[in-house]
Structure formats: structure tokens, C-alpha cells
Amino acid sequence: MADAQCLCGALKLMLREPSKLVVACHCLACQRRTGSPFSVGAFYAINTVEISGGATEFVHVGDSGSRVRIYFCPTCGSTIYWKPDALPSMIGVAVGALAVPDFPAPALSIFERSKHHWVQFDGEVEHFQEGAMRKYSPDLTRRSDSR
């Protein structure tokens, strides 16, 4: 399957299975992390991803109090992947690090309350003013209908 890598190529991810979900996030933390007006992450089952090369870990505590471990290349600084403590079986991968322009579009657009006004997505996207964790079950493979 696809591979993701940092700009200098020292940090690489081999992705053996397709992504479970692609999410665009407009939160201010993602804006600062990426230097871009929004981030797009693809979530994979953690046991299907092989990581090679060293990464520096930064732990970000979100407004909700939940932690996300963010990993970046110590040489070139690219953010390649992250592990949300709330989703221990998943790994988020920066879609830009895949460099595959025909990668599937985001299915969810979250934290739109801080979305830049000119950002718009075509097609079928579910919109959320805040996060969508309550709506989606932890393994991200199906919606939680428990409430």
C-alpha cells in the first residue's frame, strides 16, 4: 500500500492496509501544528503501520483534556503521524505526507467553529462545529448508535 514520509525522507511509514477514515480538522492546534489553515489526517489501525526512522514526540493536551502524541522528524520538522490517547488502537497519518493527490477526500470536517472562512469542501462531507468522537466509535469503523 501507500507510504508516508517526511520531507527529508529519514522518517517513513509503511501502510499495509487502507485508511479507515479521513478527517479534515480546523482546530487551532492543528493550524499551529501544520502551519496550514487546516489539517487532513488518515486514520489507520495501529498494528498495520510500520514506522522506520527516529521521531521526536510532542504531547499536546487538547481543550477537552485528552492528550495527543504528535511525532515529527527531528531533522526536517515534518509532522508525519500522531496517536490520540482517546483512540489507542489508531494512528493518524498526515495525508500530505503520502503525496498521493488522488487520495480519498475527507469524510468528516471537524472543529469548523475555527475554520478559515474561504475553506470549502465539495462532495459528501459531514460537518461538525466541534469534534466528532462522540458520534464515532473508537475503532472508527462504524458509527456508534448507542445513544
- Three-state DSSP at 43 gives strand
Q: What are the CA-CA distances from residue 125 to residues 21, 26, 91, 107 (Å)? A: 12, 14, 21, 5
Nearest-angstrom CA–CA distance, 112 and 126 = 11
Binding-residue pattern over the window 38 to 77 for Zn ion, x denoting contact by CB under 5 A: -----------------------------------x-xx-
| Three cell numbers, residue 76 | 526536517
Q: Is the CB of 22 or the CB of 25 nearer to Zn ion? A: 25
Rule CB under 5 A: which of 18-37 touch Zn ion? 25, 27, 30
Give the residue with the Cβ less far from Zn ion, 1 or 76: 76
Place of cell 501544520: 34
Residue 4 touches Zn ion, criterion: CB under 5 A: no
For residue 10, the minimal CB distance to Zn ion (Å) is: 4
